[in-house]
Structure 1
Amino acid sequence: MKSFKNFSIIILVLSLLVCCIFCPVTTQAAGLYSKYSVLIDSDSGRILSGSNETTAVSMASTTKIMTLIIALENCDKNFVVTTSAYAASMPDVQLNAVTGEQFIINDLYYSLMLESHNDSAVIIAENAAYYLLCKNPSLRSETPFINNYNYDSSFLSEINHEQSEILVHIFTGLMNEKADDILLSDTYYITPNGLDAEDNYSFHHTTAYDLAKTMAYCINNEDFLYITQTVSKTISDTTGRYHYQLNNKNRLLNPNEGIISGKTGFTNKAGYCYVCAYKDKNRTLCIALLACGWPPNKNYKWSDANYLIALGKKYNKQKYFNCEYTFYIPVSKGKYSFCELIPDSAVEFLACDDDSVNIQIDIPETLTAPVNSAQIYGTINIYVNNEPARSINLKAKQSIPKKSHTLDIFDTIFR
């Protein structure tokens, strides 16, 4: 029987074969106007190109992608919402809703995303918070000013600014919880519209990397995609008397050419900002640009986005270690002398000719029976440009029981 001490040689050969395919050159984010930028593989979250991508800065109306996804996930799309005096007081850009005016919340989603109306963001936040309070009595300790929880939002026309801010705080709390859930590392929401703000904890901020990861999460929601892909729409209040024409400000939007979603933003502090998603049959990319120029340079974000999309198209899906890969391990005290370890899954991720891909295989020299097919006995670790990319578990192809006592005696007699 051949010795399995040559496993290290096999592993080395595998690594060298993979490395021969790729040239170890690190891609740099160059030629961009944006101070903070990132291009990521949406499926894995891997950074393909970045510049100051983990620096916390203001994000302006790119905030609204999180506002929309929280509302979509927590509120009935046919809920009738009411405009408060606080919401009506928001600065431009505005829908110009007046206190007491009512809408179907789903219509306001288009106002939020196509025209980026700041008043609509607050209407959505207050009313979605109220809807959640109607469903969850345990959350009502902060809102003694609400006399009914029967899904009638008309009382919002009579509350004061401080009471409105309590409802907004409940909603932004959901935004921050979602940030934790999707593993954003340095994002904090204070406003639902992205207007600059500070509190005793921090300031309203994100990073380019976190913003791109947020978009990667949002595009998994079909309603989010449908709304953000709408080119134009006319909405009205619930009386039908007042109509509002909305036009999408995402100049690059073109699902047929790959740009499937996006959101712009601007404040004096944040500068011009943009986040978008690109998808074709080979890849899904998310791009975030923060502080991408100030007036009059509002078009910098489009050129930067196109630059990064072109860069992303150099990456293609690479597939590694399907179930055809087998590693043979000696088994002691087992019914069979050897065990086949196989990957429990194949992995795919984006790589380009400039990437250096290395593989490290961690398997034991021997196994002792019993061997359980459900148990993990090794791992395959894939590194791209010396950074951990993916890991695959190795499991036994079949369970191997211990040798019976009779076989042990037989082996002893005839050894």
Structure 2
Amino acid sequence: MKKCIAVIMIILFLVNFSINVFADTPIVTSEAAILIDAETGEVLFEKNSHVSLYPASTTKIMTGILAIENCDLDEEVVIPREATLGIEGSHIALEPGEVLTMENLLYALLIESANDAAKAIAIHISGSVEDFAKLMNEKAKELGAYDTNFVNPNGLHDDNHVTTAYDLSLITRYAMKNKVFANIVKEYLYTIDTTNKKSEPRYLKSSNKMLYSDDEIRVDGKYIPTKYYGAIGVKTGYTPEAKNCLVTAVKRDNHTLITVVLKAVGRNLYEDTHNLMNYGFKNFTLENLAYKNSFIENINVESGNIPFATAVIEKDLKAIVPSSNVNNIKSLINLNGEVKAPITEGQVLGQVDYMIDDELVGSVNIVSATNVTKKTLPPTLDYANEKFLLRKWWTWPIILLLLVIVNLKIRQLRRRRRRQRRTMFV
């Protein structure tokens, strides 16, 4: 009986231990997923993040940022006939010869997820879908998205149109730094006024329920609204081959996280995204480790026209740290040995390492805030002799003795001159 009780106790302990260890690990049912910090790009969680999958309409993140970088918002776009042909899925019924501003097309692209708007943008910028796809792939490689290959601007299925969760996080992080892009994707409603071809306004609504929906999903055993506090975008996607895809950005207290979930089933894309975001905000914090031009210390400078250089932090430094270790960050100042003149403003004098236990969290350079020129010596005084003499303990007593002797000699000389004058008048 005692043995049975002991075995049960051990099993309960192990179960409890495993629950505690893995309690904070996010539950993700999607085929692939990733969670990154938007400021630093650090990966906080990943699942199959480098597996090649179909992105569906999350493709339009790249299309949108390229449109913003290559066009003015008030630029007029005449819709070509090619942009209205072969359009499947979501669209805004563009007509050949219709004139819209690039801004209106961007809202149609990123809010309504209009496939015809994506095609119109591509042809307007590059002349053809094929050439625009080349531009998309060039940009992807520039951003480090090396496992991405775009074939079209809208994400309609093509066996060769692929990306990864990791690559999409890189593209999204870049796009969200653009204020125009960020301002568009945070909206879920928009109206396009009448055009030369349409007598009625177009009313757009995003399918990204993270921004607005009260539809309930099950998270942590509870039913809660799909809307997520602090959500600021960015894009949904669906094709039968890609299944449900979602890229999300959430900002809370100046801390922004980005998630990508690919090939999700049903509402799991929202549940997975909630789980990832909850995990990120609960377990990690964006910490300001250093501020640009913060004073470190005055560093002695050998042979300088002034005795020291003012050392300051080169730039702001932020880092993602576990929330439980925020108070355990320590800074270590490392100088580059003996500092000799001349020193120029901005010259690196060392670095500050920020540590948690033995793990490096971040590093930043220490630089000089001042110019220090080399000391100019009198022509009659040899620098090497001065350096040698002035640093010996017996130098100053000898100098004082010499001054006394010189003073005595001067007095003797004055007495002698007085005697000579008296003799002349006798």
TM-score range, shorter chain: 0.7 to 0.9
2:302 corresponds to: 332
Contact 2:191–2:204 (8 Å) recurs in 1: yes
Q: Secondary structure at the match of 2:125?
A: helix
Which stretches in structure 1 are left out of the alignment for 5+ residues?
A: 1-24, 131-166
Q: Secondary structure at the match of 2:209?
A: coil
Contact 1:88–1:96 (8 Å) recurs in 2: no
1:316 corresponds to: 285
Displacement, 1:289? 1.0
Displacement, 1:238? 2.3
1:93 corresponds to: 90
Moved more, 103-112 or 263-272: 103-112
Structure 2 CA distance for aligned equivalents of residues 57 and 95 of structure 1: 27
Q: Is 1:246 aligned to residue 204 of structure 2? A: yes
2:319 corresponds to: 349
Residues 98, 371 of structure 1: alpha-carbon distance in 2 compared, 3 angstrom cutoff = closer
2:264 corresponds to: 292
The CA deviation string for residues 77-120 of structure 1, in whole angstroms up to 9 with x for no partner, is 34132142454212223334344554444323232222222222
Moved more, 299-308 or 355-364: 355-364
Structure 2 CA distance for aligned equivalents of residues 279 and 349 of structure 1: 16
Q: Is 1:272 aligned to residue 244 of structure 2? A: yes
Displacement, 1:341? 3.0
Q: Is 1:210 aligned to residue 160 of structure 2? A: no
Q: Secondary structure at the match of 1:319?
A: strand
Which stretches in structure 2 are left out of the alignment for 5+ residues?
A: 1-20, 213-226, 393-426
Contact 1:80–1:103 (8 Å) recurs in 2: yes
Q: Is 1:222 aligned to residue 179 of structure 2? A: yes
Contact 1:330–1:365 (8 Å) recurs in 2: no
Contact 1:83–1:97 (8 Å) recurs in 2: no
Contact 1:358–1:383 (8 Å) recurs in 2: yes
1:259 corresponds to: 231
2:76 corresponds to: 79
Amino acid at match of 2:108: S
The residue correspondences of 1:52-71 to structure 2 (distance < 5 A) are: 52-71=48-67
Count of aligned residue pairs for this structure pair: 347
Choose from 173, 179, 185 the match for 2:134. 173
Contact 2:186–2:211 (8 Å) recurs in 1: yes
Structure 1 CA distance for aligned equivalents of residues 308 and 95 of structure 2: 76
2:350 corresponds to: 378
Structure 1 CA distance for aligned equivalents of residues 300 and 23 of structure 2: 43
Higher relative contact order (CA 8 A, sep 6+): 1
Contact 1:121–1:192 (8 Å) recurs in 2: yes
Displacement, 1:275? 0.5
Displacement, 1:26? 11
Structure 1 CA distance for aligned equivalents of residues 355 and 245 of structure 2: 32
Displacement, 1:178? 2.7
Displacement, 1:353? 2.6
1:399 corresponds to: 371
Residues 250, 81 of structure 1: alpha-carbon distance in 2 compared, 3 angstrom cutoff = same
Structure 1 CA distance for aligned equivalents of residues 357 and 201 of structure 2: 54
Q: Secondary structure at the match of 1:287?
A: strand
Displacement, 1:326? 2.0
Amino acid at match of 1:221: N
Structure 2 CA distance for aligned equivalents of residues 262 and 34 of structure 1: 18
Structure 2 CA distance for aligned equivalents of residues 208 and 386 of structure 1: 31
Displacement, 1:387? 8.1
Residues 357, 33 of structure 1: alpha-carbon distance in 2 compared, 3 angstrom cutoff = farther
The CA deviation string for residues 342-363 of structure 1, in whole angstroms up to 9 with x for no partner, is 2112312332335686766543
TM-score by length of 2: 0.71
Q: Secondary structure at the match of 2:232?
A: strand
Residues 385, 242 of structure 1: alpha-carbon distance in 2 compared, 3 angstrom cutoff = farther
Contact 2:211–2:228 (8 Å) recurs in 1: no
2:339 corresponds to: 367
Structure 2 CA distance for aligned equivalents of residues 114 and 72 of structure 1: 15
Q: Secondary structure at the match of 2:69?
A: helix
Choose from 108, 117, 122 the match for 1:120. 117
Amino acid at match of 2:117: S
Q: Is 1:47 aligned to residue 43 of structure 2? A: yes
Structure 2 CA distance for aligned equivalents of residues 359 and 176 of structure 1: 42
Structure 2 CA distance for aligned equivalents of residues 238 and 382 of structure 1: 61
Q: Secondary structure at the match of 1:275?
A: strand
Structure 2 CA distance for aligned equivalents of residues 334 and 27 of structure 1: 59
Residues 32, 358 of structure 1: alpha-carbon distance in 2 compared, 3 angstrom cutoff = farther
The residue correspondences of 1:101-112 to structure 2 (distance < 5 A) are: 101-112=98-109
Displacement, 1:336? 5.0
Structure 1 CA distance for aligned equivalents of residues 332 and 307 of structure 2: 25
The CA deviation string for residues 52-84 of structure 1, in whole angstroms up to 9 with x for no partner, is 223332211101011112112212334132142
Contact 1:29–1:50 (8 Å) recurs in 2: no
Which protein is bigger by CA-based radius of gyration? Answer: 2
Amino acid at match of 2:78: V
Structure 2 CA distance for aligned equivalents of residues 96 and 364 of structure 1: 65
Residues 390, 126 of structure 1: alpha-carbon distance in 2 compared, 3 angstrom cutoff = farther
Identity %: 29
Q: Secondary structure at the match of 1:326?
A: strand
Amino acid at match of 2:88: P
Contact 1:104–1:238 (8 Å) recurs in 2: no
